[in-house]
Structure 1
Amino acid sequence: MKKITLVSLAVVLVIMIAGLAYSALYSAETVDTSTYSLIKVQRRSLNQSVLATGIIKTQIGAEVKVGAQVSGIVKELNVEIGSKVKRGDLLAEIEPTGYKAKMEMTLAQKEIAEAEKKFAEKELKRYRALREKEVATAQQMESIEKQFELATAKLEQAKADIDYASLQLSYTKISSPINGIVASVTTQEGETVAASFSAPTFVTIIDLNRLEVWAYVDETDIGRIEPGQTVTFTVDTYPGEEFNGRVETIYPKAEIQNNVVNYITVINIENKEGRTIRPEMTATVRIFNDKKNDALVVPKNAVKKEDGKTFVYVLKNGMPTKKYIETGVSDKKYFEVLSGLKENEQVIVGEVNLNK
């Protein structure tokens, strides 16, 4: 009887050990189902794209440096950094007193010149009449004609002096040539400025509505980029928000830094969604260069790589199993599947942590 009992206990013990071993083996090959989800392989259109880093720049004419074209003391400065201005707004004024005096002097000189010409014209008429009567000599006639010509030239010079003095006086009022925001101010009231061939800059104005993106496209990708292609881009200051644009032009000259060859691709910004984008912000740019319809695709976060091979995880008998695939083109969310998977087959997305 004892012998039978011992045998029974031994059998039970063997069964328990086998069960524990099977349980351990099974758990080693399964995963926590909370760590992944399944998605079907499907067909959809793929928008192929080129990724590049870019910088926000002002368009030509959207950033202007405004300076003084005449010398003098800054009488008024009406703006500061951040001021919004419109085209024609008075930014600053140079003390105009000296230029007004110059204007008055040229006006007086014009009156004198007009009087001198009027007198010379009368003398010319008189001597012509005398010449007809053979009272005035040819030499006298020639002298009177020259005096009239000089008086006429003096009047023209006086008129030109008035135009120049008027222009100089107008330069004492410095106005904004564009709509925009004041980005910098480099003078102050009471400061003396000296104009030369290069006008000293007073104010820099930027029109934030006239910006563009300079995307630095790698030489291996530039052959796929053409004007008119659609673009999306993001900037760090508005994480998660996408802005739209379109390729405007491609610079023919390369930009080479650290032996890396890039080509500047200029992108017009089509919408800013009410956001303020500023020059020199860094942009992450995606240029859509082609579209593939009815492609068999799998999400990028389902695709893994190991030892140079590409695979996904599928469920087989309730357990995740590697399945090797071949991928083709891609967009920012999906890989095209060339082989290894069928439509509607389910794959695991996200991380798969196998318990050991």
Structure 2
Amino acid sequence: MSRRPVRRLILVAAGVLLVAVVVAAFLLATRPEPRTAVVERGSLEATVETVGRLVPRNPITVRSTVSGRVQLVAVSPGDVVEEGDVIAQLDPEPFEEAIRRAEDQVAAAEAALNLAEQRAGDNPSPEQLSARLTAEQQLREAQRALDDARAALDASMILAPRAGTVLQVQTAEGAPLGTGAEVAQIADLNDLELQVDLDEIDLPHVPLDAPVTFTLDAYPSEDIEGRLERISPTAETSGGTTTFRATVRFTLPEGLVARPGMNADVSIKTAVRPDVLLIPESALRTVGRRTFVTVLVDGEEQEREIRIGLRSGGMVEVASGLTEGERVVIP
């Protein structure tokens, strides 16, 4: 074989190699830089988001302590009442009739006692003494019955036990009313609390006295601060969801007017990690129970195992494995 074909073959191979090198260099030079995030120091808060509504803190249910028929309803929802104001009045005639009968019984018992005392004289026989003692007992019972009848008449006038605003009226004129029946509900509208329902999944992470921030639909730009005051020990289930009723104590900012039934968007702060290392949660890669990130070091990508802590709002706390200022690759 002549040297010329061999030389041409070598030149062709060298040219192909040169083209490959140039193409590779071009591809490396034009490859986009990986998207990265800097490991930064900051604070991380975990929150539970829910909704709630305002309710009176200590509403009072006014009940009737006697039975009868309602003659008068003196209030309507929204009325402001003072302690002792009339809420409703039962028909007094049956109570007045009971008093008249009781007075007759007292008069008869007094007459019987006077007769027994006259017969007994100063030296009564055992039978006369027993008759006098019996008459005295009957008079006491008749007097108690009269006292009870008078108290029942007083109770037929149903009064407000304290000052407040009438929220509900639960009877009507002409309606029968039993002992213990609800007549009205009264509350102090200046003493409200926020009720929220906590999902059973969130409950283990929500401590008592947790800071709470909420906005009312009526004041969407006003952040109102409060504290989680109590959590019901019993669950409520609706539509396959189990929740626990919780109560938030708060103070309204000056100038805001709130009413029972107002709706709120609620954020409960469950944990705070101040001054910790943070990276985006999207940088994590999990293998079993182990967590890895890709770190960019001098332009080279390195796999590194890390230990993480709190997660919230797309960020994650780095407990170990990274230092402030390093860059992690975001896939």
Length-normalised TM-score, structure 2: 0.65
- Look up the match of 1:206: 187
Letter in 1 for 2:59: A
- Matches of 1:142 and 1:341, distance apart in 2: 106
- Look up the match of 2:152: 168
Question: Does 2:62 correspond to 1:62?
Answer: no
Secondary structure at the counterpart of residue 237 of structure 2: strand
- Look up the match of 2:275: 294
Secondary structure at the counterpart of residue 209 of structure 2: coil
Query: What is the Cα deviation at residue 229 of structure 1?
Result: 1.9
Query: What is the Cα deviation at residue 120 of structure 1?
Result: 1.6
- Matches of 1:104 and 1:279, distance apart in 2: 46
**Counterparts of residues 219-234 of structure 1 (less than 5 Å):** 219-234=200-215
- Look up the match of 1:254: 235
Which of 137, 144, 168 matches 1:153? 137
- Matches of 2:179 and 2:192, distance apart in 1: 30
Question: Does 2:89 correspond to 1:93?
Answer: yes
- CA deviation map 1:93-114 (0-9, x unaligned): 2343442343244234324423
Which of 168, 176, 183 matches 1:194? 176
Question: Any stretches of 5+ residues in structure 2 without a counterpart?
Answer: 1-31, 33-37, 286-305
- Matches of 2:260 and 2:107, distance apart in 1: 54
Residues 187 and 252 of structure 1: CA distance in aligned 2, closer, same or farther (over 3 Å): closer
- Look up the match of 2:250: 270
CA contact (8 A) 2:103 2:146 kept: yes
Secondary structure at the counterpart of residue 87 of structure 1: coil
- Look up the match of 2:49: 51
Length-normalised TM-score, structure 1: 0.61
Letter in 1 for 2:66: Q
Secondary structure at the counterpart of residue 241 of structure 1: strand
- CA deviation map 1:232-283 (0-9, x unaligned): 222222212222222222233333344433333x223221225343444433
CA contact (8 A) 1:43 1:296 kept: yes
- CA deviation map 1:90-135 (0-9, x unaligned): 222234344234324423432442343233234223443xxxxxxx
CA contact (8 A) 1:81 1:185 kept: yes
- CA deviation map 1:151-207 (0-9, x unaligned): 11210111111121111111121111233221233555xx323233552x4433233
Residues 216 and 185 of structure 1: CA distance in aligned 2, closer, same or farther (over 3 Å): closer
- Matches of 2:64 and 2:126, distance apart in 1: 51
Question: Does 2:178 correspond to 1:180?
Answer: no
Secondary structure at the counterpart of residue 227 of structure 1: coil
Secondary structure at the counterpart of residue 121 of structure 2: helix
CA contact (8 A) 1:46 1:331 kept: yes
Question: Any stretches of 5+ residues in structure 1 without a counterpart?
Answer: 1-28, 30-39, 129-140, 309-325, 346-356
Deviates more, 1:106-115 or 1:143-152: 106-115
Question: Does 2:281 correspond to 1:283?
Answer: no
CA contact (8 A) 1:328 1:335 kept: no
CA contact (8 A) 2:229 2:248 kept: yes
- Look up the match of 2:68: 71
Question: Does 2:110 correspond to 1:114?
Answer: yes
CA contact (8 A) 2:281 2:311 kept: no
